[in-house]
Structure 1
Amino acid sequence: MNISHAWTSVWRMALMALVLILGLGLGQQALAQADPDREIATAVPSVDADAWRQIRSGETGPNFRSSRFDSNYNLINASGENWRQLRNRWVSPFGLIAIGGMLAMIVIFYLIFGRKRLDEPKTGRKLPRWPLMMRSLHWTVATLFILLALSGLNLFYGKLVFKPLFGDSAWSGMISASKLVHNYLGPLFGILLVFLLLRLFKENLPKKHDLVWFKKGGGMIGKGHVDAGFANGGEKVWYWLLATVGIAVIASGLVLDFPNFGQSRDTMQWANIIHALGALGLTAVALGHIYIGTIGTEGSLEGMTTGYVDETWAKEHHNLWYEKVKDQTVTKEQLAADHGNTRGGDQAAPRTS
């Protein structure tokens, strides 16, 4: 089986899983709409000033109490109102500023500087950079990240955007599908992200030359290229954001995803705040990562799609790594022949040119 056939199979499986999840979401939506008016009318009695006095004093009766066995927790309480205010007044604006600001920065940067082109023509000689297993893991994690980001944004802002545009029925279907996608794909994303972080740990350890990389703005300040190993300073920052903020998002998401392990509602409220802040921040930074890795830098996407990078790209962007692997270059002809003879779809052993 060659690389293209293996890659096609991976994407077909991912597409089938997505279709299944969306189908489940639409089914849940139909069940939820059976009698929504009666549910709203009987869910909770009216909350007036006297009820709020009781809530703040903790004197609420059984009508406001959790239905869990032997529970004395009040469903309506002052901490819930504090959580709502924090979420709406601080977390929600933070997300809009972070994501909107990053999009604006990308557009302005592109209009001013354009795409980062290679200083020298491509040689046509290739260096192996990403094996098939790493590329498959990267694209799977990236796809899950995008699905989780879109579904999370819909859960957070969808009511303000899509409900007025499409009405209650369409919006409820979108919310139901988003909730299923988020709840079921979140743990899978967490597991695969940990595998990815462990695999890339050694390449992302900080080095002294990373300080110079930052001082020169990744090569934008001053003349000449800045030193970089397998990963440059910017890529290492993204890695450690995923290894810290990303793990916090995963942990808080698991607290929310599995509320049956004895955690209190207060704990889940804080988990919700941590989850939202971390996820919104990572989404904003991910937009920059996606831009730089695709249209922002010539030759970058090639490494993660084919597994190989051009010799010129390696010299200009990762010169220290290039010096270690420059004897592994292969020509286009050798690469085509190796891929034609390789079984299992992985890269062939590199040849010296």
Structure 2
Amino acid sequence: MTTADAAWRHAREHWLIPYGGTLLLIGLGVLALLYLVKGPLGSARNDGPRAIERFTRFERAAHWTNAIAFCLLAASGLAMAFGPGLLPLPDMIIDALKGLHSLAGPLFAVSLPLVLIIFLNDNVASRGDLRWLARGGAMLGGQQLPSHRFNPAEKIMFWWGMFFPGLISVGSGLALDGWIPELDDLRLAMPVVHLIHLAATLVMMAALAGHIYMGTLGVRGAYRAMRGGWVDEAWAREHHRLWHDEVVAGHIPARRSGAGPAAERVDDRAP
């Protein structure tokens, strides 16, 4: 074992895995506490007069492709990183996890840049974001503050939970998979690449755990919006008032794709 390999193993076993695992557990604990204290945000029913298209089919297809690939990578990566220390796994399962990781990796590498490009414009910082953050959005009070299509917390998640750690994860993952031949001859570089890859993916998992929570249990109607693409006008006004006002004023079309229930009310029975 080289000095670089020994340093990598020490950093992995004594720093990344214990502290990274603690970060994930603390994050999950905070989300559980948040749900118990605040519960789901938003009204139980939003019966607006018309529907607004929040996500097109193309946006949803890109999102779900990337989300599925990420979940497969996260599950297999966590099992390989933490499994041996908690529950030794048979070689056959380890090989299967490595195969799953290698298959999902290219799908994530292709879909991530697409998702970043699609949602980049709506995640640029705007006037009023600092005020929204200073007041904690809807977390510190009962009423949600006005926001554009994506609120400042979602913008932070986009940049620091997806954009930067995501690109680092993809780049380091491609290097580990042999897609950057120049690194194959640099044995000393591979432990560093491993270290960067694990650190970036742990940051991404922690951030996206919050994203998944807010998109399912945390905000009423959020999952329905990404599943079906449409929200009613009352939901848009409650959760993203500035975006809603732009739609009502005609600056943003209520229907952005070729077909959809533009004049119909969204089905409230879906979660």
TM over 0.5: yes
2:244 equivalent to 1:322:
yes
Superposition pairs of residues 65-84 of structure 1, within 5 angstroms: 76-84=1-9
Structure whose residues are more often helix by fraction:
1
Q: Among 289, 297, 316, which residue is 2:219 paired with?
A: 297
Alpha-carbon displacement from aligned partner over 1:198-217 (angstroms, at most 9, x marks no partner):
11111111112111111111
1:199 and 1:260 mapped to 2: Cα distance? 27
- Is this contact kept in 2: 1:329–1:351, CA < 8 A? no
Q: Among 135, 147, 152, which residue is 1:233 paired with?
A: 152
Q: Among 83, 98, 108, which residue is 1:189 paired with?
A: 108
2:215 and 2:180 mapped to 1: Cα distance? 40
Query: Structure 2: 5+ residue runs without aligned partners?
Result: 266-271
- Is this contact kept in 2: 1:229–1:319, CA < 8 A? yes
User: Offset at 1:222?
Assistant: 4.5
2:264 and 2:71 mapped to 1: Cα distance? 38
Structure 1 vs Structure 2 CA RMSD? 2.3
Structure 2 equivalent of residue 51 of structure 1: none
Structure 2 equivalent of residue 280 of structure 1: 202
Normalized against structure 1, the TM-score is what? 0.68
Query: Structure 1 residues 120 and 209 mapped into 2: Cα distance closer, same or farther (>3 Å)?
Result: farther
Structure 1 equivalent of residue 164 of structure 2: 244
- Is this contact kept in 2: 1:212–1:226, CA < 8 A? no
1:257 and 1:346 mapped to 2: Cα distance? 40
2:180 and 2:142 mapped to 1: Cα distance? 58
Write the letter of the residue equivalent to 1:197.
L
Percent of aligned pairs with the same amino acid: 31
Structure 2 equivalent of residue 59 of structure 1: none
Structure 1 equivalent of residue 259 of structure 2: 347
Alpha-carbon displacement from aligned partner over 1:124-182 (angstroms, at most 9, x marks no partner):
6311111111111111100000000000001101112332xxxx5xx222211110111
1:297 and 1:282 mapped to 2: Cα distance? 21
Alpha-carbon displacement from aligned partner over 1:288-334 (angstroms, at most 9, x marks no partner):
1111110111111111011101211101111111011136669xxxx
- Is this contact kept in 2: 1:152–1:182, CA < 8 A? yes
- Is this contact kept in 1: 2:50–2:263, CA < 8 A? no
Alpha-carbon displacement from aligned partner over 1:181-203 (angstroms, at most 9, x marks no partner):
11222122011100110111111
Tell me the secondary structure at the aligned position of residue 231 of structure 2: strand
- Is this contact kept in 2: 1:120–1:312, CA < 8 A? no
Q: Among 236, 256, 260, which residue is 2:176 paired with?
A: 256
User: Offset at 1:237?
Assistant: 0.9
Structure 2 equivalent of residue 139 of structure 1: 64
Normalized against structure 2, the TM-score is what? 0.88
Instruction: Could you list the structure 1 runs, at least 4 aligned residues long, displaced by more than 4 angstroms after superposition.
Output: 327-330
Structure 2 equivalent of residue 201 of structure 1: 120
- Is this contact kept in 2: 1:125–1:329, CA < 8 A? no
Query: Structure 1 residues 270 and 316 mapped into 2: Cα distance closer, same or farther (>3 Å)?
Result: same
Structure 2 equivalent of residue 8 of structure 1: none
Write the letter of the residue equivalent to 1:321.
W
Q: Among 11, 22, 32, which residue is 1:97 paired with?
A: 22
- Is this contact kept in 1: 2:48–2:235, CA < 8 A? no
Structure 2 equivalent of residue 151 of structure 1: 76
Higher relative contact order (CA 8 A, sep 6+): 2
1:93 and 1:295 mapped to 2: Cα distance? 28
Tell me the secondary structure at the aligned position of residue 217 of structure 1: coil
1:80 and 1:215 mapped to 2: Cα distance? 45
- Is this contact kept in 2: 1:132–1:346, CA < 8 A? no
1:289 and 1:259 mapped to 2: Cα distance? 30
